[in-house]
Amino acid sequence: GDSVTQTEGLVTLTEGLPVMLNCTYQTAYSTFLFWYVQHLNEAPKLLLKSSTDNKRTEHQGFHATLHKSSSSFHLQKSSAQLSDSALYYCALSDVGDNSKLIWGLGTSLVVNP
Amino acid sequence: GPKVLQIPSHQIIDMGQMVTLNCDPVSNHLYFYWYKQILGQQMEFLVNFYNGKVMEKSKLFKDQFSVERPDGSYFTLKIQPTALEDSAVYFCASSRRLGDNYAEQFFGPGTRLTVL
């Protein structure tokens, strides 16, 4: 079945350094990939989404490129800010309206001054 | 942006009792979802719901679970009777139909259910 793998449970870095959170996936179908961000005691919110191979998608300083050849959708940011500290989830959904989301375990990003 | 509300934020209940988790979805949304997240594990799909009917459910959606949205009010998840393994955070989400495009799911902050 479909699955999403986020290899890092916790990433700690200093403000100003680049961010890269890994996400790989397995699916037999055409799919959408997503990054959701969840700040403490808040709802998960959509950060990025993509279904187009090799096209960079950007939002709020973060970017990701879906690479179907390597089944990856890594999240990157050039310079971390303190406010980026949060839980980041990678998820996939098979193409089609309102399909269920398959989630990774999540990566907790802690940005220190 | 659009907000999904969940009531209550925390619920503690004795095993065997019934519990109802309430979700107030985004007002013009038509599709509703429940996800379950056990502590330390990934979020998992339970069920989605449209036009008064369950569209799809996972194997986690046991016979003791039911969902409904009577007369456009709260979208509810009822568990009767509860079991210890039902302890988790339950997230509600809603989305609107967008034709062939993916319809973003908007999430609530979750209800933490503890079954003793």
pLDDT tens by residue, B71-98: 878 999 999 999 999 999 999 999 886 4
Q: Is B9 left (phi over 0), alpha (psi -120 to 50) or beta?
A: alpha
- Provide the residue ranges of all domains of chain A, joining segments of one domain with +: 3-112
Residues of B in contact with A103 (CB under 8 A): 35, 42-44
pLDDT interval class at B21 (50, 70, 90): very high
Residues of B in contact with A46 (CB under 8 A): 104-106
- Is the pLDDT at A47 greater than 60? The verdict is yes
Distance from CA of B110 to the nearest CA of A (A): 7
* Mean pLDDT rounded to a whole number for chain A: 93
- Report how many domains make up chain B: 1
Q: How many angstroms separate the CA atoms of B71 and A48, rounded?
A: 34
CATH classification at residue B65: 2.60.40.10
pLDDT interval class at A1 (50, 70, 90): confident
Distance from CA of A99 to the nearest CA of B (A): 8
Q: How many angstroms separate the CA atoms of B31 and B2, rounded?
A: 14
Please judge whether B109 and A43 are an interchain contact, meaning their C-beta atoms are less than 8 angstroms apart.
yes
In this structure, which CATH number among 3.90.228.20, 2.60.40.10, 2.60.120.260, 3.65.10.10 belongs to the domain A3-112? 2.60.40.10
Can you give the residue range of the structural domain that contains B72? 5-115
DSSP sequence for B29-64: --EEEEEEE-TTS--EEEEEEETTEEEEE-TTS-TT
Please judge whether A43 and B33 are an interchain contact, meaning their C-beta atoms are less than 8 angstroms apart.
no
